Amino acid sequence: MLGLLLYAIVCFTIAGALTWISVLFSKVGSTADKPAVTRLVFLWVAIFTLPYAWVEFNTVRRSKDFALGVEHAVDKGLVTGELAYFKVRNAMGESAKVLVVTDVEDDWGGTYRNLYHLDFEQDSDGWHVRHVTPLNTKDGDSAGFSVPPYW
């Protein structure tokens, strides 16, 4: 959740800078007619949601290409836990980046969500996992987050 909070703060800072620049280059008389707060809120929402929209667009468009590779990574033990979902962050040319979220049972009976970043490469046989990076796992071997944040 800390990653989501940091992401929201960074998006708000970018929206504030863009709003300030737009106010800086506006006519003096027109700044009172159009309050900057509404522009700030709309820009913040747009900057916050556009990366999620991009990831969802790529997932809908390309998820069938990577479903077998993600299942293979889970079966081989490259990622631990039961697959909850995966998202295609970017797929251009012969390389792709996929986020994988798995559920793992905790010692006290609850569940924990592991987050992995998988790099795929394409060859004549299709897409294959090239590298697995744990972003946030129960084992504590990582302390990262993705942009946009998923959990």
Residues 6+ apart with CB under 8 A from 138: 80, 81, 104, 106, 112, 114
Q: Does residue 143 sit within a domain?
A: no
- What integer is the mean pLDDT of 43-61? 96
- 21 plus 78 within the same structural domain: no
Tokens representing residue 92 in the block: 């251009």
Give the residue numbers spanning the domain of 47.
2-51
Q: Does residue 142 sit within a domain?
A: no
Q: Is the CB of residue 103 less than 8 Å from the CB of residue 112?
A: yes
- 131 plus 72 within the same structural domain: yes
**Count of structural domains, the chain:** 2
Tokens representing residue 8 in the block: 């929201």
Mean pLDDT, rounded, of the chain: 89
Task: Check whether 33 has a pLDDT greater than 70.
Answer: no
Instruction: Note the pLDDT of residue 96.
Output: 96
Instruction: Note the pLDDT of residue 141.
Output: 65
Q: Report the share of the chain in percent with pLDDT over 90.
A: 63
- 27 plus 84 within the same structural domain: no
- Angle CA(88)–CA(116)–CA(131) in degrees, nearest 5? 85
User: Residue 146 — very low, low, confident or very high, per pLDDT cuts 50/70/90?
Assistant: confident
Instruction: Note the pLDDT of residue 35.
Output: 77
- What integer is the mean pLDDT of 125-148? 84
Exposure string for 10-46, b = 16+ CB within 10 A, e = fewer: ebbeebeebbeeeeeeeeeeeeeeeeeeeebeebbee
- 72 plus 131 within the same structural domain: yes
Q: Does residue 83 sit within a domain?
A: yes
Task: Check whether 31 has a pLDDT greater than 60.
Answer: no
- 47 plus 66 within the same structural domain: no
Please state the φ and ψ torsions of residue 39, each to the nearest 5 degrees.
-65, -40
pTM for this prediction: 0.83
- 45 plus 87 within the same structural domain: no
Q: Does residue 106 sit within a domain?
A: yes
- 99 plus 121 within the same structural domain: yes
Q: What is the pLDDT of residues 90-117, one digit of tens each?
A: 999 999 999 999 999 988 888 888 999 9
Q: Does residue 56 sit within a domain?
A: no
- 21 plus 67 within the same structural domain: no
Q: Does residue 108 sit within a domain?
A: yes
